[in-house]
Chain A
């Protein structure tokens, strides 16, 4: 799981001089203004700022736009894709450290190294067995032993087979690295999770057996430990990478943690093999088992060129050159697509929908679907300004907030249909294979009337359009709640990324704030900070951010790319690494633990339903990840659908005849 910025890239953008874009933007602003002026029904609150795109169900998701045609593959050719500055790869070792952790780095690595378990499967948040190095794991001994077989026929580019030893090599090197510092692996979660929940490991031929420290939920272990959204286990070439920085072979990595660490340090030696300048030249990185190998890497902006790896053991086998170019902004990327120099690129739902007709005319298919994970504003349970920690600490109050978020209108007015509502940690699409659809139901339907009634019932003096204050302090049912003195206002700071970086995030926040003020007298003061600032400083889990505890009430930097098995473990448990607002709930903690250790399939559904009721964050619609693909590019349907999940698997594409 990882942070995701609300416009996904973290890079800024500039407005295009496009009348259509301008019109769309103005219409969105006007639509929000409508909500400020008093419309209260779902139909009218945001209005129909632009003709909304219609989504159609496909492969468990809701697809908007047109999926590219598979086409007929020709041998050779080049596909040029665009990536955005700020998230570009700066690491090549599959054990990615904290400083270089980004979605693009994972993608870069997965193009050259086959994950033990690859995902997603099309648009579905699930493992795709056909593109994984391992056959499905077998659990035994009351779910304490995991037996994994590597697919026969997989080879490293030097001709040696990919086998169980390569998985064990990953495990031992990783453990030595995380022992030295947890920041050596950005997927590190805690000292009780992988690799520490594996007591011992044995291997023979293409089989590897993991002996676990305690019984686990098999789905959780497979998906969130071994797969971990392609940040989990990778077989690594044990007979090629077992060297230290002096080039000395170290064969005792399984028994000698010092040597294992020396190997890791060599792989992550920023002055040596892992420096950007060495990516394309170091003999270490010449050994690959994925669809591609690296031909060149631009140290200036992390653009890179991949060529087919002839030893690739899965299919389809790529025959083309993949050229990933870096662009400074979504505007620059769009310009490049329109001028014909880029064939695959992404669009921003906030500012670039107006370009779709032009792209269609130029032969691009533009499509999108909601990606896995959630968007929303973390509530700061440590913010004592205006006793906000106590105010937001009341579950009924968080319910009131949720009742003031008109998600359907935001989907329509802000995203123009390129988003789906999300009322909890799992959105209505894409559907999860692990939870029933009723676990995503709306516990707090949009209803300003009900929100006001709830406030009044709990002793608040509601002043619509003004400032609501606590009139009846106390802990009884009809009183404001413990720790809330008389006269306390419902008033807090709401931090967003700047509109120039995340226009839709700002618009949806304003939609909530205007409704909250107009209907319920709840006052929101906006702040604008960069993504980096928000996740670093407005973060109660960061010990260096204590000085900011009382500076923010809600942090709407974006959301979380959750693992495919949708537990909030690591996010919402007390002291969870991504628990920015320090939400602390013993019941929730128990449910999350149960999701990870109980064999019951119902446990995860219970956990998701609980969070939907609890509203520890203010959930907002999950926006579509929108991609434009030129007619020059063909590929499998699954390959195109994966793009909606921010996963561009180049091995599933080809150049059309």
Chain B
């Protein structure tokens, strides 16, 4: 397995360089230099040329790209001139909050979706199953911001149970953790959407497993239904969920852009959204790279986790 992981990591490096090259090329096509954005509308041609020279934008695109990659290797993702901070500092500051938001939503959705999916499979075609299926399809087809707007309208503005957005006092990951009421709406919005997806997979997988001989055997041995479901069914039925969770890892840090914008939550998604508006190319480039890295790693982790959980799967 170690050889497999090393090979995959090698491929990941190539993928990352490819993503970096494509993103770099697109951004350079859109604007060969950020000088005008940085220097402001009243700058002069001479000032732009001087700035370009000072910051290496007068070199060929290939040299600039290799120089950027060299910086990335040393943890230097450039500088956000608009936000007056290094990109690394910005990411360091925002990543924890995004990870907490997505992580909490992921855990909550698993806690709800796994038992719900199994219950639906066990009681399939019952009124409860139909009701849960209808609700899941409704949530599944709903854009995240739309669900968020509905929750804000009812739970915040009409009934005043939760604040409509995260307050400015939540400036660190720790404060996000200790202010659960502030984070309730964004976490529940993300969770409900994940529940809709996860529970459908869980239901389908559990249905397949329930038809297997080992379940029939467990029941024939006289084991209680609780033991059959928790000791025998659960691990096998969760295999597709492991893959889904692995694929969700990019969201852990790359953030949930729309949710962060909607709920005024300062994370990486919001940072990227603002970078698009300004535009702030170094932030956009770093965010895309981070997204690519986490996607590759998420896939790898999912594969390894499935192989660990299911002895039938071999990684060669």
| CB-CB contacts below 8 Å: A537-570 with B | 537, 539, 541-545, 570
Query: Which segment, of A33-41, A107-115, A326-334, A625-633, faces chain B?
Result: A326-334
| CB-CB contacts below 8 Å: A519-549 with B | 530-533, 535-537, 539, 541-545
Interface residue A12 (Cβ < 8 Å from any Cβ of B)? yes
Q: Inside 8 A of B84's CB, which chain A residues have their CB?
A: 90-91, 99-100, 270, 274-276
Q: Inside 8 A of A331's CB, which chain B residues have their CB?
A: 262
B50 touches A544 (CB 8 A): no
A113 to B36 CA separation, bound complex (whole angstroms): 28
What 1/0 mask marks residues of chain A from 70 to 104 whose CB sits below 8 Å from any chain B CB?
00000000000000011000110000011111000
A298 touches B277 (CB 8 A): no
A17 touches B266 (CB 8 A): no
B51 touches A183 (CB 8 A): yes
Contact count band on A = 35 or more
| CB-CB contacts below 8 Å: B220-279 with A | 258, 260-266, 270, 273-274, 276-279
Interface residue A245 (Cβ < 8 Å from any Cβ of B)? no
- Most chain A CB within 10 A, of B145, B163, B274, is at B274
Interface residue B165 (Cβ < 8 Å from any Cβ of A)? yes
Closest residue of chain A to B85, judged by CB? Answer: A276
With A299-B85, A300-B266, A543-B48 as contacts: A325 and B167 at CB distance below 8 Å: yes
| CB-CB contacts below 8 Å: B175-227 with A | none
Q: How far is the CB of A20 from chain B (nearest CB, A)?
A: 12
Q: How far is the CB of B303 from chain A (nearest CB, A)?
A: 36
Q: How far is the CB of B37 from chain A (nearest CB, A)?
A: 6
A332 to B43 CA separation, bound complex (whole angstroms): 35
A85 touches B156 (CB 8 A): no
A417 to B42 CA separation, bound complex (whole angstroms): 34
Q: Inside 8 A of B94's CB, which chain A residues have their CB?
A: 300
A537 touches B31 (CB 8 A): yes
Interface residue A303 (Cβ < 8 Å from any Cβ of B)? yes
B93 touches A299 (CB 8 A): yes
A536 touches B157 (CB 8 A): no
Q: Inside 8 A of B276's CB, which chain A residues have their CB?
A: 530
Q: Inside 8 A of A12's CB, which chain B residues have their CB?
A: 261, 273, 277
B93 touches A11 (CB 8 A): no
What 1/0 mask marks residues of chain A from 333 to 348 whose CB sits below 8 Å from any chain B CB?
0011011010000000
Interface residue A181 (Cβ < 8 Å from any Cβ of B)? yes
Describe B's contact surface by its main secondary structure: helix
Interface residue A16 (Cβ < 8 Å from any Cβ of B)? yes
Interface residue B6 (Cβ < 8 Å from any Cβ of A)? no
A563 to B20 CA separation, bound complex (whole angstroms): 43
| CB-CB contacts below 8 Å: A1-54 with B | 2-3, 10-12, 14-18
Q: Inside 8 A of A188's CB, which chain B residues have their CB?
A: 42
B31 touches A544 (CB 8 A): yes
Contact count band on B = 35 or more
| CB-CB contacts below 8 Å: B32-88 with A | 32-33, 35-45, 47-51, 81-85
Closest residue of chain A to B145, judged by CB? Answer: A14
Interface residue A301 (Cβ < 8 Å from any Cβ of B)? yes
A303 to B33 CA separation, bound complex (whole angstroms): 30
Find A86's partner among B30, B152, B260, B274 (CB 8 Å cutoff).
Answer: B274
- Most chain A CB within 10 A, of B81, B153, B164, is at B164
B31 touches A326 (CB 8 A): no
Q: Inside 8 A of B265's CB, which chain A residues have their CB?
A: 328
Q: Inside 8 A of B168's CB, which chain A residues have their CB?
A: 298, 301, 303, 325-326
B150 touches A17 (CB 8 A): yes
A544 touches B274 (CB 8 A): no
Closest residue of chain B to A339, judged by CB? Answer: B164
Q: Inside 8 A of A100's CB, which chain B residues have their CB?
A: 82, 84
B38 touches A99 (CB 8 A): yes
Q: Inside 8 A of B126's CB, which chain A residues have their CB?
A: none
Interface residue B149 (Cβ < 8 Å from any Cβ of A)? yes
Interface residue B10 (Cβ < 8 Å from any Cβ of A)? no
Interface residue B125 (Cβ < 8 Å from any Cβ of A)? no
What 1/0 mask marks residues of chain B from 121 to 163 whose CB sits below 8 Å from any chain A CB?
0000000000000000000000001100110110011001001
Interface residue A578 (Cβ < 8 Å from any Cβ of B)? yes
> Can you list 9 residue pairs at the A/B interface with Cβ under 8 Å?
A97-B40, A101-B40, A189-B42, A300-B94, A303-B168, A335-B152, A532-B277, A536-B36, A539-B36
